[in-house]
Amino acid sequence: MIKVEVFASEPPCSGGRLLLKLIDRVRPDYEDKAEFIVHKGVNDATETYGLATTPAIIIDGDIRIIGVCPSEETLRNAFFEAGL
């Protein structure tokens, strides 16, 4: 299983809120190959990846998108490039 980590702020910003909705929409298409983890607010994972801005998406430990909610096309492209 490939780990997909989604980072959103707490309290939520509009970009983070949109990203969580987008993840909910695409998640069923990847659930057999990916484990989705949602992080809200600052935590150890935020520190580990050195994230200064959110929303962010880390796939298999690699930073893929920081600071903006991508389009669905961009998100699916990120998954594809990570082997999903």
Partner 1 sequence: MVKMEFFTAEPPCAGCVALLELADRVAGAYPEVEVIKHVGMCDEFREYEITYVPAVIIEGGKIAFMGLCPSYDTLVTALAEMGVKR
Q: 41: which residues sit within 8 A by CB, 6+ positions away?
A: 9, 10
Choices 2-10, 29-37, 38-46, 71-79 (CB under 8 A): range interacting with partner 1: 71-79
Helix (H) or strand (E) holding 62: strand 62-66
CA distance 41 to 7: 8
CB of 28 to partner 1, least distance (A): 21
Residues in contact with partner 1, shown as a per-residue x/- string from 29 to 68 under the rule CB under 8 A:
---------------------x-xx--------xxxxxxx
Judge contact between 67 and 54, C-beta under 8 A.
Answer: yes
- Verify binding: residue 70, partner 1, rule CB under 8 A: yes
Residues that bind partner 1 (CB under 8 A): 15, 50, 52-53, 62-71, 73-74, 77-78, 81-82
